[in-house]
A and B are shown apart, each in its own frame.
Chain A
């Protein structure tokens, strides 16, 4: 009964989305106030029904109801409770239902709390949101029904991909989805504004918190995903430029650009057409990402739920939504007034530079990701890997960081070159000194690593400038947010550069009791023993590591090779010891004929800064969001009276 109820709720939600679109469209066209007034409640009920449907799917997974096809193929009764729960979205159908649920709930949230937009634009926005939702409802109901029954019921399920059995990954997809789908709101706002031609500061201020919120989730999702890949795949790297990773990075780059350009529109009424364009691009990138991951036209280590039929369906949705928005853009933006002008040397100019650099990086990632498809179309087979991305995107990312040192110090509209030089003396000096010291101490490291470390130090100092000598209580919360986020970028960059420049790696055929050396550590494999977990068995290496004197304190590392029975898979579980100045990372391989164990060891100085910085970036975004929302609330009363 639960499955049928879930399916019914999904059908009702789809019907309401259709109604929402019709009422918004007709209401605006015929200027019928009654129709327009009903759009908000319909959006709210639609969100609730979608949430109900998803809740029922989760219930089915928690009950291990093996008469439901999706549960039987993706869960197992012996699975730990957390993964039964996560199993609900660790598959194609469930994740699409989660996607549409977040979409509908976002629409409901707009209906419930949005107070800044004028009535017509809000109605058009909700119409656009319903229009997007309809496509995904149709996808679920016709091509990937999550509630399909299995008759006769299975005796037990087939389990969840063991790689996904990790607490980090259980919550990784929902976080990313909140980000991806949150960006659909920016898209709907842009469509709404293009329909009513109300593109100005009010629109930008209304859109900004939604973009911020989506961006915070996306940042957390990418950071967590990167750490997951780092410790779960056992390859010792934190970013692989894999198509699936790029699928999450591209919307983040676009959203970061949008976040900054929307500030220009909100504060100075500039960059109107560009901001609209970015809002369309942002959502396009999250849909292109979904498409690439689901269609199987790119090969990826993470690829799952690969199916060309589903790919075609998403491609059609992509064509309708993005194509439609771009047609609207071409037809309408010409008549949107250009907005205010500004000097080249100004905060606006800095933000334009930021946008250009981010767009170039986005273009590089997009081209690099799609190039194998283009080459294939021309009859060549190739893949584009880290060397291309690092070489092409790295220098531009460094230029972006250099721009970040200067940008926040600029004044709106126009600034004075001499005043600016005065303000950036300290950060530039810090950068130069850091580079010189690193060069003296470390000697020959790559120029990108050297410049990266220098810029990280300079940016870390510069990011404090906007709050320097200000009364901390009177400094707006979003200024603090910007400071924290920019400081986070510096921290992350320092981690990346340090990892890339100073990592030491060893691959040894280890004999018991024999010492091997990696970085400052002396590592000994003392033995390998079998061990067992909730739904896996493993062989576990007992590795001790010490630095400094031989009788110094020991770290015990336990890297494992795990065997999961359902489905039969083996995984390598890396053992990682975190210290203040870095991580020691050990992976156990196979045993050779002479009884030696393959042991891969890394010493990664300051690698944790990468994810710590990512966390700070997200925290900065959250602080800004709180600041914006608090300030906006003061103005809400006026708007409520107008409604």
Chain B
């Protein structure tokens, strides 16, 4: 046996150490990411849920202008927390559409009158068909949709103050 081969086990072991060590330093990401980022939205057509506000179809999201798609529900507490940030995004010129998950017209109307209404359109996704179709696992979640109706980015959880500039940048990037 040549001398250098004797060190192979050590090298293999160091590689193993590096691998598991890196996992300890960077703890595993337990969030479920949508596998659809970078892919076009599926075909769908949701009726409106609030009086005077249109529902949402796939075609509404492919008009050449990038926009945000917010998945929310009136029964969701973090959605209340993120409401002011959505208003800020709207004020900064973002167009925001929404999908309401397992909700009722009365509850959504009350929610919007209490926490502000940043939405252009709201689709009623009572059976969570669209939510599952776009790879969202909970509320709230926010998707950046580019002009061609493709999912450019996914934000899981409520939008915090420091997420606002990131989402605006993602919108600007999603031409």
Contacts and interface: CB of A to CB of B under 8 A. Distances in A.
Nearest to B1: A273
A377 B23 contact: yes
B107 interface: no
A50 B1 CA distance: 42
B93 interface: no
A209 B97 CA distance: 72
Contact of B6 (A284, A333, A376): A333
Contact of A315 (B6, B7, B14, B17): B17
Interface in B103-121: none
A370 B17 CA distance: 11
Interface string B1-35: 10100110110011011011111100111000100
A373 B1 contact: no
Given A277-B9, A326-B9, A329-B6, A295 B19 contact: no
Given A315-B17, A318-B17, A323-B14, A297 B6 contact: no
Q: Does more than half of chain B's interface fall in helix, strand or loop, or is it mixed?
A: helix
A311 B20 CA distance: 10
Interface in A362-384: 370, 373-374, 376-377, 381
Give the most central of B1, B6, B23: most A CB within 10 Å.
B23
A573 to B, nearest CB: 31
Interface string A271-311: 00100010011001000100110010100000000001001
A319 interface: yes
A33 to B, nearest CB: 33
A63 interface: no
A334 interface: yes
Interface in A566-586: none
Interface residues of B, number: 20
A447 B46 CA distance: 51
A334 B19 CA distance: 28
A330 interface: yes
Nearest to B8: A330
Given A277-B9, A297-B28, A323-B10, A376 B23 contact: yes
A295 B17 CA distance: 13
B24 A311 contact: yes
Contacts of B23: 297, 373, 376-377
A327 B9 CA distance: 9
A322 to B, nearest CB: 6
Contact of A330 (B10, B16, B24): B10
B20 A322 contact: no
A284 B13 contact: yes
B74 to A, nearest CB: 28
Contacts of B3: 334
Given A280-B9, A308-B24, A334-B6, A319 B17 contact: yes
A312 interface: yes
A327 B20 contact: no
Given A308-B27, A315-B24, A377 B13 contact: no
B20 A323 contact: no
B163 to A, nearest CB: 21
B10 A295 contact: no
Contact of B24 (A288, A295, A327, A338): A295
A365 to B, nearest CB: 14
B10 A326 contact: yes
B16 A370 contact: yes
Contacts of B17: 315, 318-319, 323
B24 A297 contact: yes
Nearest to B11: A326
Interface in B27-82: 27-29, 33
A377 B9 contact: no
Contacts of A297: 20, 23-24, 28
5 contacts: A297-B28, A312-B24, A318-B17, A338-B1, A373-B23
Interface of B: 1, 3, 6-7, 9-10, 13-14, 16-17, 19-24, 27-29, 33
Rank and list the top 3 A-B pairs by shortest CB-CB distance, nearest first: A326-B10, A330-B7, A330-B6
Given A292-B20, A295-B20, A377-B19, 11 more contacts: A273-B6, A308-B27, A315-B20, A318-B17, A322-B13, A323-B14, A326-B9, A330-B10, A333-B6, A374-B19, A376-B28
